[in-house]
A and B are shown apart, each in its own frame.
Chain A
Amino acid sequence: MRSADTGRPSPRHRWKGRPTAAWPGLRTLTPYLGVLPFLAYVGVFLIYPTLVVVVGAFQGDDGHLSTANVRVLSRGVYLEAFVRSIELSATAAMVGAVLGSLLAWAVTTARPDGTLRRTVLAGCGVLAQFGGVTLAFAFIATFGLTGLVTVYLKDHLGIDIFANGVWLYDMPGLILVYSYFQIPLMVIVFLPALDGLRPQWREAVQSLGGSTWRYWRHVAGPVLGPSFLGASLLLFANAFSAYATAAALVSQGSPIVPLEIRNYFTSEVLLGRQNIGKALGFSMIVVVAVVMVLYALLLRRAARWLR
């Protein structure tokens, strides 16, 4: 541009004129530069790994496009792992949703900024997010073979909770330990919805002669319904993608999908089919994504009343 300029405008003028005259697109592009570092980081450490998994899932061992890996998943051990994973997540989600909403309801009856509520919420935050390995150990200390409750029940009440074999490191144990973090998560997620219930609604029902049952059936139920379902879906996704607790509890064998992935991860070479782990990962993303989209939709529905 300068070479074409014979008149040599003053520097100030040149600076002003440049963006629009020489690169008309520059002014519209500048704002995008501000998000560039973020995009670069996310691109490298989030998008790229995701693409690796997704692309790998559809790649045969020779690098060509193939659906073999994904087809393998619909058979044998993988199918079983999936069924078990979904059963486990669904059960843990239901237990968590029911007990968690009851606990949340109990918390709402306390003062909004009281110590009880603060303590319960902080405790729930710890259990729901900190979780993982530490929870598994708390669990072993409680219900393990020499755990406190186990020993107490045996010594004082004569009940052997492991009379029918050690269920602790199997599905029932996993469901039980998963509820350790599912219930707190439900409390955290469901509490805002319960807080949204206005006392006026209850008073309105009562002044119109309605019973408590009618209030729950016709007012609170429909308002809370979407939130409850949404929270259950979130719990499902949470249980489905949980790994640490199960890994700490079950050190051998692979009853559920995340542990199956661990198998592939630690012994990829041995098994020869390197991309099955990625296919498993891909299918997990699909399941969780579907659940989360449903969750978002339900949340939008729930937001109508909970303003």
Chain B
Amino acid sequence: MLEFSTREGGGRRGFRAWAAIGDTPALVSAVTTSLTLAGLTVSAMLLLLVPTLAWVRLRLPRARRPVEFLCLLPLMIPAIVLVVGIAPLYAWVAYLLGDSPLTLTFVYVVLVLPFGYRAIDAGLAAIDLRTLAEAARGLGASWPTVLLRVVVPNIRSALVGASFLAVALVLGEFTVASLLNFDNFQVTINLLGKGDAELSVAVSLAAILTAFALLLAISFVGRRGRSSP
């Protein structure tokens, strides 16, 4: 069935539509926006989650449940509902930071929180964090050094997994961007679809295949991480 959907999408393509991908300026700029957004979201997510989760495990075990709850909360709140609530906030964001689509990063970090949490938490659970951190501290390392030079290299495959998931999610995001009137990749595909169906089918297929390759790559990275501890 997955083969089916992609094959049919491709079966109808003409080369004209594929050639048009390159010279549709709106599309190119939308792809750039989405990729930048993905990069920003990933870095913000890692910056926010890795120190917090490591800290909670080391110094504040009592806060684990609440933090887990907060991280998984976005699963309970449909994106469309989150948009309704966040719209007034975005008036402020636009006022303070300008009206760039890149401000979507703030919402996207929230959206990827559950997936990032699961991956990073599993990564932290797999290593002996306490011993590692105490050893490093005992040798005189500061907290940032512990995080960057001890924790991060040890959970690298978890971080890679979390990042890829976040990238896939951001590239596929439509709800928030369309309702807050920002043009990202999916919004543009949708718009193009009203005028040139073949073009947007071609782009959709290209996008699906790219994401597929991405996820296939993760599964190999994950395996390599396990076989060489």
Pair count A-B, CB < 8 A: 224
Contact with B along A1-35 (1 / 0, CB 8 A): 00000000000000000000000000000011011
Size of the A side of the interface (Cβ < 8 Å), in residues, is: 73
Contact with B along A161-203 (1 / 0, CB 8 A): 0000000000000000000100110000000000000000000
Is the CB–CB distance between B207 and A134 below 8 Å?
yes
Q: Of A35, A120, A140, A284, which contacts B2 at CB under 8 A?
A: A120
Is the CB–CB distance between B84 and A129 below 8 Å?
no
The SS class assigned to the B binding surface is helix
Question: For the complex, is B200 an interface residue (Cβ under 8 Å from A)?
Answer: yes
Question: For the complex, is A45 an interface residue (Cβ under 8 Å from B)?
Answer: yes
Q: Of A103, A138, A149, which contacts B204 at CB under 8 A?
A: A138
Size of the B side of the interface (Cβ < 8 Å), in residues, is: 74
Residues of A contacting B200 with CB < 8 Å? Answer: 137
A contact set with B: CB distance below 8 Å: 31-32, 34-35, 37-39, 41-42, 44-53, 56, 99, 103, 113, 118-127, 129-135, 137-142, 147-149, 180, 183-184, 240-241, 243-244, 247-248, 251, 258, 261-262, 265-266, 277-278, 281-282, 284-285, 288-289, 292
New A-B pairs, 8, CB < 8 Å, besides A118-B220, A134-B203, A248-B174: A37-B52, A42-B110, A45-B89, A46-B74, A120-B2, A138-B201, A240-B78, A265-B179
- In the assembled complex, 5 residue pairs joining A and B whose CB atoms fall closer than 8 Å, in A order, are A46-B73, A118-B219, A132-B173, A132-B175, A243-B174
B contact set with A: CB distance below 8 Å: 1-6, 8-9, 11-12, 48-49, 51-52, 55-56, 59-60, 63, 67, 70, 73-89, 106-107, 109-110, 113, 165, 168-169, 171-175, 178-179, 186, 189-190, 193-194, 197, 200-201, 203-205, 207-208, 211-212, 215-216, 218-220, 223
